[in-house]
Structure 1
Amino acid sequence: MQQPRAILITGASSGIGRALALAYAAPGLHLTLLGRNSERLAEVKAAAEARGATVSAIPVDVRDRVAMHGAVLAADSPHPIDLVIANAGITTGLADTAVSEDPEAVRALLATNLFGVLNTIEPLIGPMCTRGRGQIAVIGSLAGLRGLPFSPAYSASKAAVHAYAESLRGRLERRGVLVSLVVAGFVKTPLNDSIDAVKPFEVSDVQAATIIKNGLARGRAVIAFPMALYLATRLARILPPRFVDRLFTRFSVNVPETQERVKS
C-alpha cells in the first residue's frame, strides 16, 4: 500500500485520536483533525506541526450531520483524503447496583458512537470511489463482539459500527477503497480512566496508535488487540449464552453515566 498523504481523524483532541495524529505526523503529510474541544485541538495541531506535518484543525461536533458534511468535504477538496479514521466516541454504562441506563444518556452515546461514524464516513464514500483509492478505518471495540452487562448501549453502538464497517468492506473494496475495522481492548485514555474495573492487557494510547497504524499500513480488514482478549471474546460468542452472562456478571464493574445529552 502507498503511504497516505492526507489523513482525516475525528476525536483528535485526546486519547487514541491524539495519539494517532502524532503517530502519523511527518513531513509531506497533511492532517485534518476534528474535535469539539478547540483548545486541546490547537495543542495537538501544534504538536503535529512540530513533527513536520501540515495540519488543519476543525472544531466540529460529529453528531452534527450538516456541519460534518461541510467540514469533511471542505477538507477533501484541497487535500484529497487517503485515509479517514472514524475515532470519536464516548462511553456510558451502569454501576453495580443499577439495572437500566438513562435513556437520555443512551441516545447521546448513540448519536456520537454510531451516527458520528456515519457522519464522518458518508461524505467520503463517493469521492474515494470516484478516485478509485482510499482507506476507511472505523474504531470499534471488543464490546462490539459480545454485549457487556455493564455497558449495554456502548456494546450496541460498537456492534452497529462493526456491522457497518463489514458491510462497507464487501462493497467498496471492489472499487479500490479499503475498509478496516479496529477492534480495541482496554486503552489507557482519559475516557477509560473513569471506568472502575479490572482492565486486562491494557495498553497505552501510544501503543494502541502504533498497532493501528501498522495494521492500516498492511491493509488489514480487522485490527484486533490484545489478541488474547480478542480470541477469548470470540470464544464467548460460541459458548452457552447464560454461562457467559453469569461469568461476566461475577466481575465488579462501574461505568460512569455520560453527562452528554442530545440537543433538542
Structure 2
Amino acid sequence: MKIIEGRAAGSPRCVLITGATGAIGGALALEYARAGTQILVLQGRDAARLRALGDACGAQGARAVTQVLDIRDHDALVAWLVAVSDAEMPDLVVVNAGVNINTGPNQRGEDWHGIQRLLDVNIKAAFATVQGVLPAMRKRRRGQIALISSLAAWRGLPETPSYCASKAAIKIYGEAMRMAMADEGIKFNVVMPGYVESQMCADMPGPKPFLWKPEKAARAIRRGLASNRARISFPMPLSVGCFLLSTIHPTASEWILKRLGYGA
C-alpha cells in the first residue's frame, strides 16, 4: 500500500460521516482510521455508541470529533455542518444516515408517520447535509461527497416501497450533482450497496442474497471513492441482477421477484 504523509494513497485528511453509529457508517469510520485519516467527524444519535466508536478510531491514531444530533432537525443539522466545515475542513463527506420501514405482517401497508420519518431522514436530511457542507467546498474548489443509496434504487421491492423510492431519489440527485459540480473541483459519488449485515437489514422482510459484512462493504466503498468512481455498487452478481430488473418490462420483473421470494 502506498503511503502519502502517513496516509494510505487516496485516504483524505478529514472525513465526515453521518449515521456513523450504523453498521456501514461505523465500519467506514474504522476503515478510514486504519488507512491513516487524521480527523474523523462522526454524527449519530446514540451517544454511548458514538463515544465508543470515537475511542476505537482514536486507538487507530485518528482524532474523532463526535456530534450527537437528530438529523430530522434539518436547521440544526445545517448549522452544525457549516460550523464544522469551517473548523475541520472535511475533504470527504459520507452522507450515510438512513432508516428503513416495511409493509409489515401480511403486507398490511406502511405507516404514514413512518413514511414521514423516512423521508425526513433519507431524503431531506441527505439533501440538507449536502447543502450544509457544499459552500465551504466551493470556496476551496475541492472536496468529495459520497451519497449512500442502495441497489434497491434500481427496482422497487413490494415490501419496502418508500425505502426503495428514497434511495432512487438519492441516486438521481447524486448523479446530477456529480455533473453540476465537476467544473468546481467537487466530486460526487453514488454508493449502491446490496445487503449488508446490520440490524436494519435483519429487520427487512424477504430474502437477503449475497449478504456482506460491514467491514467488506467499507473497504469496497473506500477504494471506490479513492478512484472517484461515479457509481460504487456491490456485490457484483446482485448489482447486475438489480440493474437488469430495471431494464426489462415490469411484468417480467414482477414474475422474477415473486419467484425469488419477494412479495410472496
User: Residue 259 of structure 1 aligns with which residue?
Assistant: none
User: Residue 3 of structure 2 aligns with which residue?
Assistant: none
Bigger share in helix: 2
* Partner SS state of residue 187, structure 1: coil
Residue 50 (structure 1) aligned with residue 63 (structure 2): no
User: Residue 257 of structure 1 aligns with which residue?
Assistant: none
Q: What pairs with 1:1-264 in structure 2 (closer than 5 Å)?
A: 3-26=11-34, 27=36, 29-95=38-104, 97-252=106-261
CA contact (8 A) 2:25 2:96 kept: yes
Deviation at 1:130, TM superposition (A): 1.5
* Partner SS state of residue 203, structure 1: coil
Output the amino acid matched with 1:73.
V
Deviation at 1:28, TM superposition (A): 5.6
Deviation at 1:253, TM superposition (A): 5.2
CA contact (8 A) 1:92 1:109 kept: yes
* Partner SS state of residue 87, structure 2: coil
Deviation at 1:99, TM superposition (A): 4.4
* Partner SS state of residue 103, structure 2: coil
CA contact (8 A) 1:45 1:57 kept: yes
* Partner SS state of residue 21, structure 2: coil
> Given the superposition, is the C-alpha separation of residues 166 and 28 from structure 1 closer, same or farther in structure 2, using an over 3 Å criterion?
closer
State percent identity of aligned pairs. 35
* Partner SS state of residue 212, structure 1: helix
Off by >2 Å, runs of 4+ in structure 1: 195-198, 249-254
* Partner SS state of residue 106, structure 2: coil
Distance in structure 1 (CA, Å) of the matches to 2:203 and 2:157: 17
* Partner SS state of residue 199, structure 1: coil
CA contact (8 A) 2:86 2:136 kept: no
Deviation at 1:2, TM superposition (A): 5.2
Query: Normalising by structure 2, what TM-score?
Result: 0.92
Give structure 2 stretches of 5+ with no counterpart.
Answer: 1-8
CA contact (8 A) 2:16 2:93 kept: yes
CA contact (8 A) 1:95 1:253 kept: no
Distance in structure 1 (CA, Å) of the matches to 2:191 and 2:22: 18
Output the amino acid matched with 1:221.
A
Query: Normalising by structure 1, what TM-score?
Result: 0.92
Deviation at 1:249, TM superposition (A): 3.1
Deviation at 1:96, TM superposition (A): 5.8
> Given the superposition, is the C-alpha separation of residues 3 and 28 from structure 1 closer, same or farther in structure 2, using an over 3 Å criterion?
closer
Distance in structure 2 (CA, Å) of the matches to 1:231 and 1:2: 27
